């Protein structure tokens, strides 16, 4: 049992005439304060969520020559697509969107090419771009409010494989395996 008095943080509950207070934090006055900040990342509802499709060429280019040809899993590689951010985050968050830290493209899709064509496989993964901020809040409310960062933009792939699509590239649409680019909005067939 502490020898000194105790400090309490109380909140008023409801708007009734009765004095209803609930203690949510109580410490002894002589108990040391825990002022080490706890790092967290919180979502920011600023109305700027944006849809993007990230495209990556997952196959080598296949030159068909004088006959038709098919580029498939033998010439393709599955890639892991991860989230990104404009600044270092304390932790990854979904911001209540159906997104994941990572997804994989898979490599089971095939594309056909005709005589004289070059053919390749592209995988597109749908992403949400959204806002977050880092916060540092002390465990003990006697230490003050804490601090927070400016808004950080994050982008994360759609959860599961429902956000992964495949597209057949032909001739000038084929670059090198691993080539990538971003396009606004979600691609639909």
Domain boundaries, the chain: 46-137+149-184
The CA-CA-CA angle for residues 131, 135, 141, to 5°, reads 145
Give the count of beta carbons closer than 10 Å to the beta carbon of residue 93.
19
Distance from C-alpha of 123 to C-alpha of 179, rounded to nearest angstrom: 11
Which residues of the chain carry a pLDDT beneath 70?
Answer: 1-31, 161, 189
Name beta bridge partners: 137: 38
pLDDT digit string (tens) for 10-36? 444 444 445 455 444 455 556 677 788
pTM, full prediction = 0.74
Phi and psi torsions of 141, nearest 5°: -65, -15
- The predicted pLDDT at position 74 comes to 83
Predicted confidence at residue 24, as pLDDT, reads 45
Can you give the pLDDT at residue 33? 72
Query: Which candidate, 134, 122, 139, places its Cα nearest to that of 57?
Result: 122
- pLDDT for the residue numbered 7: 47
């Amino acid at each position: 049992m502490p020898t000194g008095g105790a400090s309490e943080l109380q909140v008023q509950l409801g708007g009734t005439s009765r004095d209803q207070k609930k203690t949510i934090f109580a410490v002894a006055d002589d108990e040391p304060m825990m002022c080490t900040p706890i790092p967290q990342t919180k979502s920011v509802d600023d109305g700027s969520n944006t849809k993007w499709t990230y495209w990556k060429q997952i196959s080598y280019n296949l030159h068909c020559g004088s006959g038709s040809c098919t580029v498939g899993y033998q010439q393709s590689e599955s890639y892991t697509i991860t989230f990104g951010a404009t600044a270092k985050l304390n932790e990854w968050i979904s911001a209540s969107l159906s997104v994941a830290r990572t997804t994989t493209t898979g490599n089971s899709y095939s594309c056909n090419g005709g005589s004289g064509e070059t053919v390749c496989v592209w995988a597109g993964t749908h992403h949400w771009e959204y806002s977050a901020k880092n916060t540092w809040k002390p465990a003990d409310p006697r230490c003050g409010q804490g601090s927070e960062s400016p808004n950080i933009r994050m982008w994360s792939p759609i959860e599961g494989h429902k956000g992964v699509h495949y597209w057949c590239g032909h001739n000038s649409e084929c670059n090198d395996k691993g080539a990538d680019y971003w396009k606004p909005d979600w691609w639909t067939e």
